[in-house]
Amino acid sequence: MGDVAADEPERKVRGILVAGDFGSKARAAASIVPTLSLRRYKVAFQFESAD
């Protein structure tokens, strides 16, 4: 985000971090960056018969 903001100062830069979960330190760090969002992903498998 910092590199993009430095290269293009006229644009609003936003960031998204994607992970299965975030620890308390990651949440605290992200909380002071207003244009950074944390997003959790979930994976669900469904199995079907191949017959």
For 1-51, what is the HEC assignment?
Answer: CHHHHHHCCCCCCCEEEEECCCCHHHHHHHHCCCCEEEEECCCCCCCCCCC
Give the tokens for residue 34: 């207003």
For residues 42 and 18, give the distance between their C-alpha atoms in angstroms, rounded to a whole number.
10
Query: Phi and psi at residue 49, in whole multiples of 5°?
Result: -70, 140
Please report, for the chain, the start and end positions of each structural domain, with discontinuous segments joined by +.
Answer: 2-40
Give the model confidence (pLDDT) of 1-51 as tens digits: 999 999 999 999 999 999 999 999 999 999 999 999 999 999 999 999 998
Instruction: Please tell me the pTM assigned to this model.
Output: 0.70
